[in-house]
Structures are given as C-alpha cells and as structure tokens.
Structure 1
C-alpha cells in the first residue's frame, strides 16, 4: 500500500488503510504460530480490506495438500478450484449472507458479533486429489477503527462424517449462549406445496412411489406427477438430488 489514504469499497465498507492497525494482525499471527505445534487444525485469517488471506497455517499443506503460495493470493481462484463443484455455489452464497448479516448490525453493536460462529461442513480435495469432507468455522476477529468488519478467523478440520455424497451444510451458532440459528437459506423460485414436501420427505426416507401412495392414500400416478413437479421446481436432475437440495435449503 502507498502512504496516502486509500479506500476500498466492498459491501458498503470503506477502509482507510492509513488507519488500519496491522500490529493487531501481527499479534494474532504470533499467537497462532506459537500454538501451531499443539494443534492439528488448519487456521486462517482473512483480511477484508485487502481481500486476501493474511495468514494461512502450514497445516493446510499437511491436512489438504494446499499450495500455500497460491492459496494466499488475492481472490479465491485456487481455493475454489479445489471445492466440490456442487458445494461451491452454496458456500459462496452462505458466506456472503453471513457477511451481510454482520453488516446489518449497527457499527456500535458489531463487537457482539464476535460471539457468533458460522459453521460449514463441505467437500474439498484432499492431499491425494480425492474429495474429503471438512468442517470449517468462521468468526469475526477484529473490527477496524471505524467499526468495519476487517479480520475474520477460520478454523478447519477433517469432518468426522466423511459422507462424500451429501451437499454442504451450514449453521450459525452463538458461542456465548449455545443458541443455534437457522441461517438464511436460498428460496426456490417456486416453493413446494405441503403435499409435495410431504411426498419428498417420504421419498427421502427411502420409500418408493407405491409405498408413498399407500401411506398417503393416493394413486401411484399422483405420486409420480408430484415427483416430476418437485424435480422441475427445484431445478434438479432426479429425486435424489431433490432430497439433498431440499434438506440443504431447509424445505424438509
């Protein structure tokens, strides 16, 4: 950065680089480096002003085989290239929603956002190039002098649930109270009717159309008609994808 005042507008945030106290970042990095030998988590700090990772622990290389030089460049091209393509759009959207949520809070109240953690469970490439499931937590680390959202902390581990078939999952937790929140999720262009939701829930439990028809006292043809409408409304290829998608966005 140059010596003159520079501002970067992003999500209605304006950063004055002359006023950013990067000694705070140095202190955080020093602490994280000092405990690196006693933890196996991959830890990052993202700089919202410069739009790049300010810190990536070497554990990313050990855990997932990351090229740290590439991962540390501005933007997300390298990291996005390793994400499972089915999860990428969901993760980008929910990360943006989390930031938008923080920015809706009045500046004088944003310190309270440090109690909140966004927890995401998704698929990315591992050391051998095959997909693994990871669980990642994000939280606010520092505001700048103007109470802009500045530094964000990320902590990643391999998930104990190595289900490689399911879409990503996410939730918002208040670490101080333990409260779990339903995070804003995408809304389909056309919501499912109560009957369609009921049928999709039964199909998600492994029932076939005949069993669903018997359970709901309707014809198999009616069930199959509903199945086709569900697939069309959710813009997916088959009912298995519909079940996964509906679970992810909170329909069932």
Structure 2
C-alpha cells in the first residue's frame, strides 16, 4: 500500500476542486444516516470532551458542516464560547485561528487525501488517519504548534464516511516551522504512508536521499564517501545540492524539511 500511495502522489496532477466537492462524492442519502443514533453518540463525545484536555471536533460530511466542538477551543485558543457551542451555525469558524500559510496547505492536503481515498476500493476508504502539525493562534495571540488527528468515526448504512472526528493537542515540539507536517496511517495495519506531495523542484535524487539518510544517522562526509564508494568531493556536492533544493541553510534544517515533506521515512 505504501508503494501505491507514493506512486499516486507522484502521478497526481493538481485539479481545481474543493474539499466540499470531494465530500459530495460520497453521495450519502438521508435514508442511510441515523441522526437519532448519532445524537446519542455525540452526547457521549461531549461527556468525554469534558474530561479530556484535548480539543475535540466532529464534521458532518452529509450536511457539510461542523457538528460539534469542545469547550477547550475557547479555553486554549480563545474562541468565543458561544460560537463554539453553536458550531453548527458558524461555518468555517475553527479555521480562523490557523496560520494563513498552514490553512492553504491544509486545504491542499485535504484535497490530495480525498482523491487518494477515492482511488481505493470502498471497503478500504475508512481505514486511514491523518495527523497534522499546524500553527494556530492561542488565547494569548501567539502562534503555537498543534497536533491534529483526523479519522472517520461514524459510517452510514452503506459503509461510507459520514462523521469525521478531529482531536487537537498542543505539540510537544514547539520548534518554529514554516510548513505543515503530515502523516497518514492505516489504522488497521499500522502502516505509515508518505506525508506530502513533494514539489517538483524539491524532489531529491535516490543518491541525495541516501546521503541525507546517512547524515541523519550521524555519518560524516568522509564516512559517507567510504560507505558509498564515492569521493568526498562528490558527497559534498550532493550535500550542497540538497540544501539548495530544500531551500535551507544547514543539514539539520534539511533533515527536518525532508521529514515534513515525506522524503525521509
């Protein structure tokens, strides 16, 4: 599945499509959803959210809107408590405090993931969880790194994704970053898939990835040259090319950048 996912990312072309248009492909019918059942389950989520320190939200794919958001969004991120309690009427409220650059990337990732999901057989489409690290304004008006996990929590009678749940927490890694970090996990197999579409001008060659992996393991240029049967001059040229392609100043930044793009896994 990992090879299939990577092949899909590399061959995918950007299309003018929105996340809501992708949701519409589910073609969920009102006859196939049970809101009485969901109201009971939402009540359970609300009770759990009162005990949890996480920010929890649910999205109704059929109605194309937020269905619930926990009070912690007000406590941690400074949202108006009344707006949070009436999230179903507030449109894209939760996106407002995401860093503008991350918000644009998040939409791209949602579209990419939706297209990947619809390339799978129906029975495999709900097996994946997306994990993002994004920047959000907190209640003190400071951008902080946040981990946000998204997965299907409720299916309709035909097994189609109906309700999506997100769980958001402050990231233990508050190192400043300029890009979203994203991981896709198959919840059934535990397989971790590639994390992002890599821009064409930032794709590393097989040799460059090999060298960067060795650098991450702590090998020096001289040692890498010996292991790969290359001259140290060639290794250093590869190092320079890696920095240029990834638009970074040093190998530590290169490793972080490559990991965020899914180049190293």
Give the TM-score, by structure 2 length.
Answer: 0.69
Establish whether residue 180 from structure 1 lines up as the match of residue 195 from structure 2. no
CA RMSD of aligned residues (A): 3.6
* Separation (CA, whole Å) in 2 of partners of 1:65 and 1:89: 22
Native 8 Å contact 1:45 1:56 kept in 2? yes
Give runs of ≥4 in structure 1 deviating > 6 Å: 202-207
Query: What are the residue-to-residue correspondences of 1:39-50 with 2, within 5 Å?
Result: 39-50=52-63
* Separation (CA, whole Å) in 2 of partners of 1:198 and 1:24: 51
**Structure 1 residue 122: deviation in Å?**
2.5
Gaps of 5+ in 1: 1-7
Match of 1:22 in 2: 35
Please, which moves more after superposition, 26-35 or 180-189? 180-189
* Separation (CA, whole Å) in 2 of partners of 1:37 and 1:80: 22
* Separation (CA, whole Å) in 2 of partners of 1:48 and 1:38: 26
* Separation (CA, whole Å) in 1 of partners of 2:248 and 2:186: 36
**Structure 1 residue 96: deviation in Å?**
3.0
Out of 130, 134, 144, the position equivalent to 2:146 is 134
Query: What are the residue-to-residue correspondences of 1:137-156 with 2, within 5 Å?
Result: 137-156=149-168
**Structure 1 residue 162: deviation in Å?**
2.5
Q: What is the aligned residue count?
A: 234
Establish whether residue 80 from structure 1 lines up as the match of residue 80 from structure 2. no
* Separation (CA, whole Å) in 1 of partners of 2:216 and 2:101: 19
Give the TM-score, by structure 1 length.
Answer: 0.72
**Structure 1 residue 105: deviation in Å?**
3.7
Structure (1/2) with the larger helix percentage = 2
Match of 2:180 in 1: 168
